[in-house]
Structure 1
Amino acid sequence: MGTDLDALSQITPLVQGGFFAALLLAASVFDIQKRIIPDKISLGIALTGLLTFETMKLSGILAAVLFLIIALFFGGIDGGDIKLMAAAGLVLGFTKIMTATVIGLTALLVFHAGKIIIQRLRGRTVQKAYPLAPFLSLGCLAAYFIF
């Protein structure tokens, strides 16, 4: 009997990780194509947090507050990005969602810097707005599977 519970406790995070990755990919594709992240995707991500629920992971929602503050004072972040990070925070918990945020935003900065260099070499103007979900998703997946 004990081995069944041990096997289940090892498989559950992998199942959760699969759903989490699939939903983050869906969020990224929607954001790239339509510049929107459907609420159903964020809800699905939040529900995946129930597979390995721990009370401490509720603090992961606080990462969304950071995005809300940025949106209010600086703009450039929409409600879908805020809801995505709140939902991912339920899966990752506070420490990992903050790691995900740093990784995702660093990836965005590196991408933008590369784009600036390439566009200037071509004599073109640089795009200043990008869909954020692909970068945040990269950070979330790294935080989930690596850290």
Structure 2
Amino acid sequence: MDLTVIKISINILFILSLIMLSVIDWITYEIPPKINILIFFIGILKIITDFPNVKSYVSGFFSISLLLMLIYLITKGRAIGGGDIKLMAASGLFLGFGKVVLAFFLGCLFASVIHPIRMKLNKSDNILALGPYLSAGMLVSLFFGNDIIEWYLHLGS
């Protein structure tokens, strides 16, 4: 099988996993551990198909998840959920360092803009399912991450 077909298949698995995760988190406010494990193994497959960039993928695994773990410990779990931490770790393994940082930033941006509007329109409480917003950030990063990062790095020049 052609390596390009394998890489596309791996991307499709990642996208489908994010869709499942988003729907479940939206309804239950919980990210199933099995989906995070699936994304972790999809990340391993990504590394196998792109081994020269293994340092970026390993850095991606730790970069955002360690920050979120620190927030989790400081706030005793009131500010971020464990599923979100595991999601960012597993997705970092798939996306790599630069793209996972971008995905996290975009996910937080989407949540901070869309969630207050949803609360106002639905007259709902302030409970936030962050998974769907992080997933949206990951999708944007997957498809346009290199272009966005390149554009950002050249803003000052």
TM-score (norm 2): 0.78
Map Cα deviations across residues 82-130 of structure 1 (whole Å, 9 max, x no partner).
Answer: 11110001000111100000110000011134246547xxxx5x62221
**3-state SS of the aligned residue for 1:50?**
helix
User: Paired residue for 1:67?
Assistant: 68
Matched, 1:58 2:61: no
Gaps of 5+ in 1: none
Write the letter of the residue equivalent to 2:96: G
2:143 paired with 1:145: yes
Q: Specify the alignment match of 1:96 in structure 2.
A: 99
Offset, 1:15:
0.8
2:150 corresponds in structure 1 to none
Q: 2:65, 2:85 within 8 Å by CA — same for their partners in 1?
A: yes
Label 1:112 to 1:32 Cα distance change in 2 as closer, same or farther (>3 A). Answer: closer
| Residues 40-70 of structure 1 deviation map (CA, whole Å, 9 limit, x = unaligned) | 1001001111222032111111211121122
Percentage of identical aligned residues: 32
Partners of 2:34 and 2:45 lie apart in 1 by: 17
Work out the CA distance in 2 between the residues paired with 1:118 and 1:44: 34
Instruction: Please tell me the root mean square deviation across aligned C-alpha atoms, in Å.
Output: 1.8
Distance in 2, Cα, partners of 1:35 & 1:118? 19
Alignment of 1:5-44 (within 5 A): 8-44=2-38
Bigger Rg, which one: 1
User: What CA distance in whole angstroms lies between the structure 1 residues aligned with 2:136 and 2:108?
Assistant: 10
2:113 maps to which residue? Answer: 110
Aligned residue in 1 for 2:152 = none
For 1:112 and 1:35, the matched residues in 2 are separated by: 14
| Cα separation, 1, equivalents of 2:110 and 2:141 | 13
Give the whole-Å Cα distance in 2 for the aligned partners of 1:72 and 1:96. 25
Supply the AA of the counterpart residue of 1:23: S
* Residue identity matched to 1:89: G
* TM-score normalised by the chain length of structure 1: 0.83
Alpha-carbon spacing, 1:116–1:133, altered in 2? closer, same or farther (3 Å) = closer
